[in-house]
Amino acid sequence: MPEDVAQEFSSSVNYTPIQRMRHSAAHVMAEAIQDLFPGTQFAIGPAIEDGFYYDMILPRAISPEDFPAIEARMVESIQHKHVFKQSRWPREKALEYFRAQHQPFKVEIIESLPDAEVGIYEQGPFLDLCRGPHVENTGQIGPVKLMRLAGAYWRGDEKRPMLTRIYGVAFNTQQELETYIWQQEEAKKRDHRRLGRDLGLFTFSDDVGPGIPLFLPKGEVIRHAMESYVREVQEQYGYQHVWTGNIGRVKLYKKSKHWDHYRDSMFPKMQEDRDLKEGETPEDAENNSFELKPMNCPSHFTLFKSQRHSYRELPIRYAEFATLHRFEKQGELSGLTRVRSLTQDDSHIFVRHDQILSEFSALVDLIREILETYGLTQYSVRLSLPDFSDHEKYHGNIEIWQKAIEDLRAALDAKGLDYTAVEGEAAFYGPKMDLMARDALGREWQLSTIQLDFFQPENFELEYIGEDGQPHRPAVIHRAIMGSTERFMGVLIEHYAGNFPVWLAPVQAVVIPIADRHLPYADHVLQRLKAAGLRAEVDARSDRMNAKVRDAQLQKIPYMLVVGDKEAAAEQVALRLRSNENIGPVPLEQFVEHAGQLARTRAHELWIVETPTGK
């Protein structure tokens, strides 16, 4: 049974109060649709993260123009405070009822349930198949709004009927609803796919293939600035950068067990077009074929094993900005946030067991420093643990897992981090800590991750020579800060709404001559800016000055330096900010010093009235 169907009818549903209210809102929406569109066939209507949805087949096509009438009918039901009445029906009675009501999806669900009885809920004139739970009456449902339509195959099977899915939201207060709607509208304006196109950062092409982003010069400037910054900070924390290529043999990924768990997300293997050698089996040929590299771990383990290591060397910190390839389903691709070709800021740290706590503490400091520089200062921590009832999903004995979990919990506690533990979300080789950062709209993104691994060192027989002269197993800490450059850039575009801080802006300043006779001075200003390491250009078009300023603002360039007769005579620039603030005349050298410092320190301010020296 698909997950959403199982959630709707499993006896183990454990809704929070807000989810319970949203689930009830889904039933009220179905009640309204049944009244307005008789003959509708209903499928399922669960609560989801932000609200609820209901899948159905309607007697006619509907559009968002129908939403106000449905919402008005929902408000009537809410005002009537209809009680949610729960009962249990024998399955034969339920089958007879829903067949008579021409509800084939309900019939199919009942037939797939093993129970002798099924749950029924009624509110007012509406009766539905449901396990619950619900609020006591419809009057306990807060403000609601229908958001959008989508298509969904019944039970996720493209061979089954296409249903209409109506999404809605419900909140406890009108203010919460209005805040949510504002966030959604603002999110549309900040959509990184639109801004990426408008600002000339990246593109996609059917000729190249879906999920493979192509970065234009301005986008590559941002990528380079992001990666250079992380490299710089990592080196300060003792990391060594390595490079391990873009392909690897299948047998490497079989050894690491990634083949067992991620084969469906790996590109089809590349096998040599040749006959089998004498004594070679098809499995041998498969093992020696190649894969586009989907992850770095096995390559970094191979690097570590290629040399002899002493306990004095540890921790050894390998870091790599590696291009990885994952054959994500086309329907799951989404701009830069879900791609098939990605650059991961990956690291594997080989530590003695007595170094785990101190290394974890340093890692948290490193992650905080980098995220806060990017302006992501609000975050929470999720501890992903295994569900040991799923024996196929996790490798290694339970004792090793328990030790890894104990050590990771101890590290979180020692750092004073509050965290939420979630079962069933661990990597197959060890527990992990995910840092969930909030952007400017309050949306949560899973960015940084730390994973503690005792399994792969055993699996790859990794060793270092201890103080006693004997070989010992290290532990491995898998770590990513940005996750992938592409996804992190997509998050930043939306976080900043394209208004990057000076150090990340692809063009930091544009020089705008008022007339053609001011071009020589504009070129002089440009060369001074470039000599100071600032990314700048001259807008030499024949358009009017105001049009050039407006275009620069649309391109979200931090500084517009207008130059005319007065500025040329006084070695000045007339400074305007993309925020539309007019600073006025500024000595060229003061601007160079001031903007340069804001860029070097990776500040988020565009301009500070005082000069850097306070004069």
Alpha helices in 152-309 (DSSP H): 174-190, 192-198, 217-236, 250-255, 258-262, 282-287, 297-305
Q: Residue length, the chain?
A: 615
The per-residue DSSP string of 358-389 comes to HHHHHHHHHHHHHHHHTT--EEEEEEEE--TT
| Catalytic residue list contains 101 | no
Q: Which residues neighbour 543 within 8 Å (Cβ) at sequence distance 6 or greater?
A: 551
Task: Print the SS3 string covering 150-172.
Answer: EEEEHHHCCCCCEEEEEEEEECC
Active-site residue (options: 317, 325, 432, 594): 432
For tokens 């005792």, the residue is 454
| φ and ψ at residue 472, rounded to 5 degrees | -135, 155
Active-site residue (options: 22, 82, 382, 478): 478
Active-site residue (options: 131, 348, 487, 594): 348
| Catalytic residue list contains 130 | no
Active-site residue (options: 297, 300, 395, 456): 297
CB 322 within 8 A of CB 343: yes
Closest by CA position to 375, among listed 556, 501, 557 = 501
Active-site residue (options: 22, 27, 218, 326): 326
| φ and ψ at residue 291, rounded to 5 degrees | -125, 140
C-alpha 102 chain-centroid distance:
41
Residue 286 backbone zone (phi > 0: left; psi -120 to 50: alpha; other: beta): alpha
Q: Which residues neighbour 193 within 8 Å (Cβ) at sequence distance 6 or greater?
A: 335, 336
Tokens of 108: 């199919």
The per-residue DSSP string of 292-320 comes to E---SHHHHHHHHHTS--BTTT-SEEEEE
Give the neighbor-by-neighbor strand order of the sheet with 582-587: 536-538, 509-513, 559-563, 572-577, 582-587
Q: How far apart are CA 178 and CA 185, in angstroms?
A: 11
| Catalytic residue list contains 348 | yes
For tokens 């179905």, the residue is 30
| Catalytic residue list contains 478 | yes
The Cβ-side half-sphere exposure at 245, using a 13 Å CA radius, reads 10
Element (H, E) at 531: helix 519-531
Q: Helices 485-496 and 174-190, interaxial angle, to 10°?
A: 120
For tokens 């301009």, the residue is 607
CB 92 within 8 A of CB 123: no
Active-site residue (options: 66, 345, 346, 539): 346
Tokens of 524: 């002089």
| Catalytic residue list contains 395 | no
| Catalytic residue list contains 73 | no
| Catalytic residue list contains 80 | no
Catalytic residue numbers read 297, 326, 344, 346, 348, 432, 478
